[in-house]
Amino acid sequence: MPGSTPHTDPVIPLSIAVLGIGLMGFPMARRLCEAGHQVTAWNRSRAKAERLQPFGARVADTPAQAVAQADFVITLLENGDVVEDVLFRQGVATALRLGTLVVDMSSILPRQARDHAARLAALGAMHLDAPVSGGTVGAEAGSLAIMAGGEVADFERAAPVFGALGRATHVGPHGAGQLAKLANQMIVGITIGAVAEALLLCEKGGADMAKVRQAISGGFADSRILQVHGQRMVERDFAKRAAITVQLKDMRNALSTASELGFEAPITGLFEQLFAQAADHGLADQDHSALFVELAQRNGMT
């Protein structure tokens, strides 16, 4: 009827454990709390998890305690080795109830994701690898791009969880989510380099770098990297949002996976070297857009 309020289904509270309350884990867990879910948080540094208490989350002392009553477990950890340690050495896998769905939203190697899925299945637990793109801005806004690998039924079961965090796409079997994330990070890292090198060339030749960025916006070379990271380059704002070290890890994961598949990735190889050199030259903890600084220094530009 005209003027009526559209009907929306009420949120059915889910019991969700979130393991890893860092730059991404905090806003994502907070959104789950605000969506009405029952969240139990764990982090190696307890104080980071305690920041969620005002939003209604419980804080567990160990990851095994966090997952004991959970229907869903979300991991947001540093790398695949840390995920394996938390799942299989710190008691999480054996503390899970039968049928619990583990959603690993960390960025790890595809082969690690497949291994974790198989080992959890042997214990009666389900698994999705579902890394994200969108950074802290997307995590805050609930607009993350979520790339999920695993069984379709498990993906559909996770829809209420994903709905609070962003837009999820099922891209294939176990490990495929991590493959999609590697593709994302390859494109991000390579495009950061392309934007930085192009803008520096213009500045070296006497053009106004900010105006060049403005001029090509909306054309065929436009991209989110040009808009967001290009602006950071113009402003020389390299405060960490996603660190050089993280980008380097992702490029190396991509090269490792390419090697396993017998796939040649020369462009990614070049940019792995450039990000490695940037890290060696003191930029490791700067934003990944600080590859601009490495390229500027190579050209005697400050």
pLDDT at residue 7 is higher than 60: no
Q: Using one digit for the tens of pLDDT, what is the confidence trace for 162-207? A: 999 999 999 999 999 999 999 999 999 999 999 999 999 999 999 9
> What pLDDT band is residue 9 in, cutting at 50, 70 and 90?
low
Is residue 238 within 8 Å of 286, Cβ to Cβ?
yes
Is 249 known to be catalytic?
A: no
Identify the CATH number of the domain in which residue 46 sits. Answer: 3.40.50.720
> What pLDDT band is residue 12 in, cutting at 50, 70 and 90?
confident
Identify the CATH number of the domain in which residue 205 sits. Answer: 1.10.1040.10
Of 172, 188, 222, which residue sits at a domain end?
Answer: 172
β-strand partners of 72: 16, 101
Is 245 domain-assigned? yes
Q: Using one digit for the tens of pLDDT, what is the confidence trace for 128-173? A: 999 999 988 899 999 999 999 999 999 999 999 999 999 999 999 9
In this structure, are 147 and 199 located in the same domain? no
Q: How far apart (Å, rounded) are the C-alpha atoms in residues 197 and 200? A: 5
When pLDDT is averaged across residues 16-37 and rounded to a whole number, the result is 97
> What pLDDT band is residue 10 in, cutting at 50, 70 and 90?
low
In this structure, are 194 and 272 located in the same domain? yes
Of 119, 138, 172, which residue sits at a domain end?
Answer: 172
Q: Which two tokens stand for residue 195?
A: 């934007």
pLDDT of amino acid 292 = 98
Q: How far apart (Å, rounded) are the C-alpha atoms in residues 162 and 66? A: 20
Is 37 domain-assigned? yes
Is 3 domain-assigned? no
pLDDT of amino acid 97 = 97
Is 4 domain-assigned? no
Range of the domain at 73: 15-172
> What pLDDT band is residue 125 in, cutting at 50, 70 and 90?
very high
Is 9 domain-assigned? no
Of 118, 145, 172, which residue sits at a domain end?
Answer: 172
Is 55 domain-assigned? yes
pLDDT at residue 4 is higher than 80: no
Q: Using one digit for the tens of pLDDT, what is the confidence trace for 55-97? A: 999 999 999 999 999 999 999 999 999 999 999 999 999 999 9
In this structure, are 159 and 191 located in the same domain? no
pLDDT at residue 282 is higher than 70: yes
In this structure, are 216 and 267 located in the same domain? yes
Predicted TM-score (pTM) of the model is 0.90
In this structure, are 142 and 185 located in the same domain? no
**Which alpha helices (DSSP H) does the chain contain, by range?**
25-34, 46-50, 63-67, 80-84, 92-95, 110-121, 135-141, 152-157, 159-163, 176-204, 209-216, 224, 230-235, 244-261, 266-278, 291-298
Average pLDDT, whole number, for the chain?
Answer: 95
> What pLDDT band is residue 109 in, cutting at 50, 70 and 90?
very high
In this structure, are 163 and 22 located in the same domain? yes
Catalytic residue among 48, 181, 204, 211: 181
pLDDT of amino acid 8 = 42
Q: Using one digit for the tens of pLDDT, what is the confidence trace for 236-255? A: 999 998 899 999 999 999 99
Is 281 domain-assigned? yes
List the one residue out of 233, 41, 229 whose CA is nearest residue 135.
Answer: 229
In this structure, are 153 and 249 located in the same domain? no
In this structure, are 162 and 218 located in the same domain? no
List the one residue out of 38, 40, 161, 56 whose CA is nearest residue 104.
Answer: 161
In this structure, are 62 and 166 located in the same domain? yes
Q: Which two tokens stand for residue 273?
A: 């070297």
Is 10 domain-assigned? no
In this structure, are 194 and 244 located in the same domain? yes
Q: Count of domains in the chain?
A: 2
When pLDDT is averaged across residues 87-112 and rounded to a whole number, the result is 97
In this structure, are 201 and 157 located in the same domain? no
In this structure, are 157 and 86 located in the same domain? yes
